[in-house]
Structure 1
Amino acid sequence: MNGKAEQDHHEAGQVSTRTRLERGRGALGPALELVHTGRAPTRAVLTAELGVTRATAGAVAAELEALGLIHVEPGAAAGSQGRPSHRLVVADDGPVVLAAQVHADGFRAALVGLGGRIVATAPGCETIDADPAQVIGSVVDAGADLLRETGRRCVGAGLAVPSAVAEPEGNALNPLHLAWPAGSPVREIFAERVRAAGLAVPAFTGNDVNLAALAEHRHGAGLGARHLLCVATGHRGVGGALVLDGRLHTGSSGLALEVGHLTVNPEGRPCYCGGRGCLDVETDPLAFLTVAGRTPGPEVNLLQQSRDLLRREYADDPLVRRAAEELIDRLGLGLAGLVNILNPDRIILGGLHRALLDADPERLRAVVADRSLWGRSGGVPILACTLDHNSLVGAAELGWQPVLDDPLGALTG
């Protein structure tokens, strides 16, 4: 090959490489999300999922590795032509999101990496102050301490709160169990506190059950569901969320799926919303302890007390068993109504509801099937949430979303 031919061949190779990289950069976000959710464990699977050539998939994986987001490792899994395909794993030493959660009995800060991995966590079991700025400042400070201790790069921040969060303002409309003023500007406060901690990253806020559902859909019991319904108790109260085709359904202003205020017992307990017999006060931890004849103690939170009581005494104490059955029947009635309206393909339960499902899964499923049209036609799978601290992981998902949308722009822009 003469000199000019060699140069032409070299330049053609450079153009081919540039073209492949340019084409691949448009696939960086989808590729990262596939690895993030565990749906592309190998380069061969990534190639098939993206619908690109092996060379382009290789360039995409190399770019994500260069950004410090994933590692490409030799693997033993068979590739598309029977050859070993490289494994794609999230980088253990990669960037993190500062995730925070506030609930009725305290707060928790964490650093969460790709794949929903909690890298470090710092619980704060303090009495929650009536001033949201004080509490949010404390949890952000705890997260900032974790960042200093670990030396990790932070790319975003997310906060989960036990309240409907109105859009676009980001105000907590009904933080009933926190004694915060209705309409507290939690997103604005959180963003200010993140900046004050020296973090120049985007900050997001959402309802805790919404975020739990998002985390479970991407990394837990909801993985693979198209229409996922999540219903869960917090330390107090009941919340719900719906994920449609991978996206949270939050309604026109962020207030959808306030399932805690479905009436399941018209003659039941007064609810904070002004109604009576709502799911929120008929199936939460305080309701269970009350029906079981137990006086809540100050030593641990109500959710843990309820779980412990179910685990230790459900089998032997008739009063505890009757209390569980009453709550299961109320919960089943509420779930049946939601099934009739939403027609989900999967239901996941968290908090005390998860423990009730574990205690008597057949009773709950029978109530839902008997009281719902679609339940009678074949049943909707009802599963327990599987992630520890799923609201925290979901808060981190908010912070990771800009990176998932545009890894190159978010990390180098």
Structure 2
Amino acid sequence: MNGKATHTKTRLDRGRGALGPALELVHTGRAPTRAVLTAELGVTRATAGAVAAELEALGLIQVDSRPGAAAGSQGRPSHRLAVNDSGPVALAAQVHADGFRAALVGLGGRTVATAPGCVTVSADPAQVLGEVVEAGAELLRGSGLRCVGAGLAVPSAVAEPDGTALNPLHLAWPAGAPVREIFAEQVRAAGIEGPAFTGNDVNLAALAEHRHGAGRGAQHLLCVATGHRGVGGALVLDGRLHTGSSGLALEVGHLTVNPEGRPCYCGGRGCLDVETDPLAFLVAAGRDPGPEVSLLEQSRELLRTEYDDVSVRGAAEELVDRLGLGLAGLVNILNPDRIILGGLHKALLEADPDRLRAVVADRSLWGRSGGVPILACSLDHNSLVGAAELAWQPVLDDPLGALG
């Protein structure tokens, strides 16, 4: 081996420990150029170049060595880095009260393909997960792309380390269903490569938003969202989901916001879960929920088209006040630096942002001293993107070990 080749190999050996951090920087959009990658990793330019070349050889990123210079700039422009649009994908699946959906998601949170969603969910978890995995397998066969693994989002707390769905309250599934084990079996049976993971849908939405959406850059990110039924919450601390000692943290749907309110599926009364979800909104607005589309879509459409109606506006204000009360309590306990809202809560924020922010400020200890930014989630199908993040994590941790 000649001297130049020896030096190149030495740089690559030194840089292999930086492959994962480098890939995560490109994956989350924080290293658009080799110069930024060099600075973020704290390595030499040559080592950063070797790391980028290795990630490119693995089919994960693309390196543009001849980018055009920006107008008015001086000097040679740095190599541009981007995820490989034709690289591997993860299979992402989501089950909710009104159906399921499967998708292929690449690096960067980019959705490559989506299967039409099913609108009925049976009481048999194995049947449902078999159907959603088969939908994903069909997408994979049609794409011809390599699969790094599979992730599943479910509307339930998922207990660790067993991966059981403890409280699928809005599905007819039995409490404690071993969803991770069932999902992994279905993934293997479909001949899909890579490990299989399962998580709570709002946790995964928060993870996706933190890496690719409205939560990017937050250090202490609180996410609260309605699903098609019920309310969930999640906390991302320094880039990692806070799931508690056994995966059950942030069950915010069961905070009491109306002691005289509706009975909740958990056995309590007046919880966020039943006071601020789509069904609660439709009932408060005096509308009979129809079977044609999901409750969430019916609620969004009502806010879009009939917000000036007295009953609709009154229902929205009622839910905003209760949501604000719950958020203020969470602010007092968790002290987040950003709050993002999804599902119907996103639509309520967009309909009357000043009212919600005023309620939170009025009820939280530190609200009047600047307040916490409250933003709408920005990603389409963020729980699906978050499910894919679970499957991508082993690759982000060790690209060469996972794919080499």
TM-score range, shorter chain: over 0.9
Pairing 1:121-136 to 2, within 5 Å after superposition: 121-136=114-129
Pairing 1:42-57 to 2, within 5 Å after superposition: 42-57=33-48
Aligned counterpart for 2:198 among listed residues 198, 205, 213: 205
Partner of 1:379: 371
SS in structure 2 at match of 1:184:
coil
Say yes or no: does 1:88 pair with 2:81.
yes
Give the partner amino acid of 2:234.
Answer: A
Report the Cα distance in structure 1 between the residues aligned to 2:193 and 2:291, rounded to whole angstroms: 39
The list of structure 1 runs, each at least 4 consecutive aligned residues, that deviate by more than 6 angstroms after superposition, is none
Quote the offset at 1:160 in angstroms: 0.2
- Contact kept in structure 2, 1:157 and 1:399, CA below 8 Å: yes
Partner of 1:173: 166
Aligned counterpart for 1:335 among listed residues 313, 327, 338: 327
Partner of 2:304: 311
SS in structure 2 at match of 1:89:
strand
Return the TM-score normalized by structure 2. 0.98
Give the partner amino acid of 2:51.
Answer: V
Aligned counterpart for 1:58 among listed residues 43, 49, 56: 49
- Give CA deviations for 1:161-182 in whole Å, capped at 9, x if unaligned: 0000000000000001111000
Give the partner amino acid of 2:44.
Answer: T
Report the Cα distance in structure 2 between the residues aligned to 1:182 and 1:85, rounded to whole angstroms: 54
Report the Cα distance in structure 2 between the residues aligned to 1:175 and 1:81, rounded to whole angstroms: 58
Aligned counterpart for 1:138 among listed residues 116, 121, 131: 131
Report the Cα distance in structure 2 between the residues aligned to 1:149 and 1:39, rounded to whole angstroms: 32
Partner of 1:4: none
Say yes or no: does 1:358 pair with 2:350.
yes
Partner of 2:178: 185
Say yes or no: does 1:252 pair with 2:249.
no
Quote the offset at 1:83 in angstroms: 1.8
- Contact kept in structure 2, 1:172 and 1:182, CA below 8 Å: yes
Quote the offset at 1:81 in angstroms: 8.2
Q: Which has the larger radius of gyration?
A: 1
Report the Cα distance in structure 1 between the residues aligned to 2:208 and 2:151, rounded to whole angstroms: 13
Pairing 1:281-292 to 2, within 5 Å after superposition: 281-292=274-285
What is the aligned-residue RMSD (CA, Å)?
Answer: 1.1
Report the Cα distance in structure 2 between the residues aligned to 1:42 and 1:11, rounded to whole angstroms: 30
Pairing 1:112-127 to 2, within 5 Å after superposition: 112-127=105-120
Over 3 Å counting, the alpha-carbon distance change for 1:26 and 1:335 in structure 2 is: same
Partner of 1:323: 315
SS in structure 1 at match of 2:5:
helix
Say yes or no: does 1:227 pair with 2:220.
yes
- Give CA deviations for 1:355-389 in whole Å, capped at 9, x if unaligned: 00000000000000000012122100000000000
Report the Cα distance in structure 1 between the residues aligned to 2:89 and 2:120, rounded to whole angstroms: 28
Report the Cα distance in structure 2 between the residues aligned to 1:329 and 1:76, rounded to whole angstroms: 51
Q: Which residues of structure 1 form unaligned runs of 5+? A: 1-9
> Across the two proteins, how many residue pairs are aligned to each other?
401
- Contact kept in structure 2, 1:110 and 1:118, CA below 8 Å: yes
Give the partner amino acid of 1:158.
Answer: G
Report the Cα distance in structure 1 between the residues aligned to 2:366 and 2:103, rounded to whole angstroms: 40
Report the Cα distance in structure 1 between the residues aligned to 2:377 and 2:192, rounded to whole angstroms: 32
- Contact kept in structure 2, 1:76 and 1:85, CA below 8 Å: no
Aligned counterpart for 1:349 among listed residues 341, 345, 358: 341
Quote the offset at 1:310 in angstroms: 0.3
Say yes or no: does 1:30 pair with 2:21.
yes
Quote the offset at 1:16 in angstroms: 1.8
Quote the offset at 1:77 in angstroms: 5.3
- Give CA deviations for 1:61-83 in whole Å, capped at 9, x if unaligned: 110000000100122357x9832
Partner of 1:5: none
